[in-house]
Structure formats: structure tokens, C-alpha cells
Structure 1
Amino acid sequence: MNKTPPSWPLATTSWLWPKTLPENLRRIGAWKLPIRQVALLFYQSAASLAYTPADFAAPDHLESHVHLPVDLPWDDGPETVWDIISRLMELPGRLSPWGGVLHPPGDPARLAGVAALWRDRAPGWRLMVENIPGQDLRAHWPVIQDLDLPVCLDVGHLMAFGQHWLLDEPDLPGRVELVHCYAPGIVRERHEHLPLSELSPSQARTILEVLGLIGANTPILFEVFSESDLRDCLENFTKLTRDWRRPE
């Protein structure tokens, strides 16, 4: 396998084998693959809060960020949501996450409440808002601008759910601090997390367009969930970007 171009830090999910989180981290840390970062998948609040710092042993060369829960209790107010988020961000201990990815609530005002706490508390990590099915961030964009929030750009969601307006938003490029990269399939309004060998030609062009918008140090997370799919992504990302040149 050719080495992937080093411009972007490459990341994998913390679930590649049907094993415990510590075992997944151990295997990832032992690789000789060009993976510098792991996304800790804290999809469910209660199960994630049950982890202890001992579950996050990993080599010093491995960095991390967190995917925050999709079941946050937005109805209970921003302080309750913030308490869960901040506790989860502290859990990994030495594997200290540089940022957390947040699925926005339907009401932008609720996002504003939590984002204001993040700004006020200044915890030292980044709070990124992700474009998701049914929430393409258009309604949330004023909050993102007002509170100067970074964005996690999920390219699979963008392609599957017709969210291409984001690529024409002049304020987007400076806000993208993480990219979720995978093939979403070709059925509109549905998506899967497939390896990059499954990209259509137009989808491959969209990924190259995104790469032209982001910074050279923006992490690329291959958001797939098996070792074989990750290796496929690494190989095909190399092919896709072999002759890529940053636009002038």
C-alpha cells in the first residue's frame, strides 16, 4: 500500500472490531498504518459515562477526539447537557480529546445555550457542530456565526441529503476543523458508511472539492466500522489524492 499523502492527519473510529473499547484502542495503537488519531464514539450518554480513565490506555503517538452522544437531554436545559458533555470530554484522561462533535438539536436556540456555556467556560477543547440528516446547519448558521463555532463537515451526509449549499457558504472553509469521509451509497435521502471504493465519480469529485476548502492540518476521519473498510479507505484515499493539488 502506498503511503497516504501526509497533508491531513488521518483518523479512525474507536469501533473496528466487535471487542471492548480498550481492546480496539490497543489494536489501533499497535498498527503501522498512517493513522494519527482515533474518534472515541460516545454515542449513548449513560453507557459512555460508565467508562473509566483506565479504559483509554493508548500509545503516546495517538491523539483523540470525541463523538458526543446523540441522546443528549436537550429538553432539560443547557446546564444539564453541558454537564454530560464536559464529563465525557474529561473521561479519557491522558488520551485527552482536542474536540467534541455535536449533533445539533432541532431548535437553534438550544444549541446557542450550550455553545454559550462552552464559550464562557473555555474548557480548552473545541466544540464542533456536525451537519446531519434533517439538520443541514442552515437554520443553525446564525448561531454558529454569532458564537464562532467550528464545524465537523460530514461529507457523506452532505452528498446523501443534498446539503451542497454548505460548499457555497463563504464562511464555511475557516470553520471546518474535522471532516467525516466515507462513501454514503447512491440512494438519495439514505446513507450508509461504506468504504471509499464505493464512491461514485461525482461523489469522488465532491470529496476533492471539500479537500480544496479545508486547511492542510484538518483531520480526516474515515467514518467506517471495520478494519477491512478502513484499509480500503486508506488505499483509495491515496489513489484519489495522488495527483491532487491545492487550488490557488
Structure 2
Amino acid sequence: MYPDLPKSYKGVYPFRLGTTSFIYPDNYIPNVKMLGPYIDEIELLFLESGAKESLPSKHEIDELSRLSREFEITYNVHLPVDIFMGDNNFLTRNYAVETVKKVMDLCEPLAPSTYTLHLSIDEKTAKTGCLDEWQKLLYKGMEKLISAGIKSEAVSIENLNYSIDWVERIIDDFNLSVCIDIGHLILYGFDLETVFNKYLDKTTIIHLHGVENGRDHISLDRISEDFIPPLMGILKRFTGVVSLEVFSYNHLDLSLKFLEKCWQREMGKMGSLPIHKGYELP
């Protein structure tokens, strides 16, 4: 038996609060059943493209659709991270396009709020800053994807270990959306407010997680206090999806409590959100 979350956070914030489908050591459906009563949206993680079991079956998609109605939740989808839209090998790029199309077709009945995509870069290109060829190949890959019938605004490009400005033209030219990963911005030394202000109008989802000693995707309470004011400033202006991108019950529980504490402190209304027994604000 898995532990329940202590309380519900449905409809509490001006944004839709979510987390990943990897909170409990089980498959998609058990995670959704456990999390559905407590949050607004679930990020379905499809991180591997090659393994057949990494994607849900048609039957599981039907069940996920039923659960969304039962719990009044929505989904977003994280596309596989082992595909490379800007690879110099045509077959690799083509495989990336085919994989994205396959996942989006499979998940269409779930009406996801967004499909998050990594535009990964190889270490050598990132270090040298010789971006022209990589950007041209990304452009070709995206052209092929859009020509396959994909709705461009349904795809959100996530910031990774390089400046998201490196793919700004691709985002603009193809009318793509943006996923701002706050943890990645902190980890790689980018300014939170500068990135958010620039891409606010295109941002459909924020990934939120803790960062400490070079580690990310840990509980939110591990981020430095210095980042709390800009983070709260961002969240106050955002009405999309905020996904606590952690991968265990303990990290999620701590993140939910920490976010609630920071939000109440920011709002200056100690009674604005219900506080579960045993949890006290400073």
C-alpha cells in the first residue's frame, strides 16, 4: 500500500499544479489513481523511445482518459529524451520525428495541455559555440515534424543546459510553445526573471524542482533562499501548468509543503490556504 498525500491542492493556486507519473514505484495508472484526488494535472513521462513497455497501450490510454474524467485532472506529456532532432545523421533525425508523431498520435485522446520536447545538443557543439550547423539541422527536423501534421503550439521546447535563446528563431518561426524549467535555469546559472519575462507569452508549462550541490529534480525545499523571491514573482504572474518535476513520494510531499509555505508567506494571508495538521508556517 502506497502512502496518500496529506491533503488536496486542487484549485488552490492561480496556476494548475501538477507532478510526474513517476512518484510511486509503479506504472502510469496506479500513479494516476494515487495522485488524481490531490493535484490538477499529471505529467506523463515517456522518457525512452526504444522500449515497447515505455509507452502505454491503447487500453491504458483509454483507462487514463476515464481517470481524467473521474478525478477531474488533465495531463501533459514529456516526450522521449533519447531522440535528437538536430543530429547530423538523417536517419537519427527522422527517427526523432517519427517518435514524436507516434507519441502524439497515441496520446491524442487524452487532450494533453502540452507535449514537452528536448532539443538536445552534443557536448562539443555546446562548448565550442559553433551552432550554425546544429541550428540548421534542428530547423530541418522541425520542418519535417510540422509537415507531418503536428500542431506546432502543442509542442513546448524545454530549456536545457544551454541558453534557450539559441533556439529562439526555431520557436518563433514555427510558433512553438515554451517549457521553462526553473531548476535547469538555476543549475546552469541563467537568470530566472530574464528568461521568464522574455518567453512569458509562449510559456505553457513550468517545471519546478529543487537544486543543490549540482543535483536537480530533488525536493523544492533544497533550492537556495536567494531564488525564492524571483520564483514567487514568476508564479504570481503565471496561469499555466506548474509541474513539480520530482520522482518520489518524499520529494513530492516536501515540495508541496514548501511551495505552500512560500506562497502563503508571499501572499501575506496566513489563512488563504488550508494547512494540514502538524504543519506550521514560520
Question: Which TM-score tier does this pair reach, normalised by the shorter chain?
Answer: 0.7 to 0.9
Which of 113, 132, 136 is the matching residue for 1:98?
Answer: 113
| Runs of 4+ residues over 6 Å off in structure 1 | none
Correspondence 1:6-17 to 2 at 5 A? 6-17=13-24
Aligned counterparts of 1:103 and 1:9: Cα–Cα separation in 2: 22
Which of 13, 26, 29 is the matching residue for 2:33?
Answer: 26
Task: Please say if residues 127 and 150 of structure 1, whose CA atoms lie closer than 8 Å, have aligned partners that are also in contact.
Answer: yes
Match of 1:210 in 2: 234
Task: Please say if residues 53 and 93 of structure 1, whose CA atoms lie closer than 8 Å, have aligned partners that are also in contact.
Answer: no
Match of 2:264 in 1: 242
**Residues 194 and 63 from structure 1, CA distance in 2 versus in 1: closer, same or farther, beyond 3 angstroms?**
same
Aligned counterparts of 1:124 and 1:27: Cα–Cα separation in 2: 32
Task: Please say if residues 15 and 242 of structure 2, whose CA atoms lie closer than 8 Å, have aligned partners that are also in contact.
Answer: yes
Higher helix fraction: Structure 1 or Structure 2?
Answer: 2
Unaligned runs of 5+ in 1: none
| TM-aligned CA deviation for residue 180 of structure 1 | 0.5
Correspondence 1:81-92 to 2 at 5 A? 81-92=96-107
| TM-aligned CA deviation for residue 79 of structure 1 | 4.2
| DSSP 3-state at the match of 2:98 | helix
Aligned counterparts of 1:199 and 1:105: Cα–Cα separation in 2: 25
Aligned counterparts of 1:165 and 1:193: Cα–Cα separation in 2: 17
Which of 209, 220, 227 is the matching residue for 2:249?
Answer: 227
| TM-aligned CA deviation for residue 228 of structure 1 | 2.3
State the identity %: 21
Match of 1:127 in 2: 155
TM-score w.r.t. length of structure 2: 0.74
Give per-residue Cα distances to partners, 1:201-227, cap 9 Å, x unaligned: 112223123325x532x1000001112
Q: How many residues are matched?
A: 236
Task: Please say if residues 119 and 157 of structure 2, whose CA atoms lie closer than 8 Å, have aligned partners that are also in contact.
Answer: yes
Q: Which has the larger radius of gyration?
A: 2
| DSSP 3-state at the match of 2:217 | coil
Structure with higher RCO (Cα < 8 A, 6+ apart):
1
Correspondence 1:16-165 to 2 at 5 A? 16-29=23-36, 31=37, 33=38, 35-47=39-51, 50-56=55-61, 57-58=63-64, 59=67, 60=69, 61-74=72-85, 75=89, 76=91, 78-92=93-107, 94-106=109-121, 107-120=134-147, 121-123=149-151, 126-133=154-161, 135-164=162-191
| TM-aligned CA deviation for residue 105 of structure 1 | 3.0
TM-score w.r.t. length of structure 1: 0.83
**Residues 25 and 2 from structure 1, CA distance in 2 versus in 1: closer, same or farther, beyond 3 angstroms?**
closer
Aligned counterparts of 2:254 and 2:197: Cα–Cα separation in 1: 33
| TM-aligned CA deviation for residue 2 of structure 1 | 7.6
Task: Please say if residues 187 and 216 of structure 2, whose CA atoms lie closer than 8 Å, have aligned partners that are also in contact.
Answer: no
| TM-aligned CA deviation for residue 140 of structure 1 | 1.2
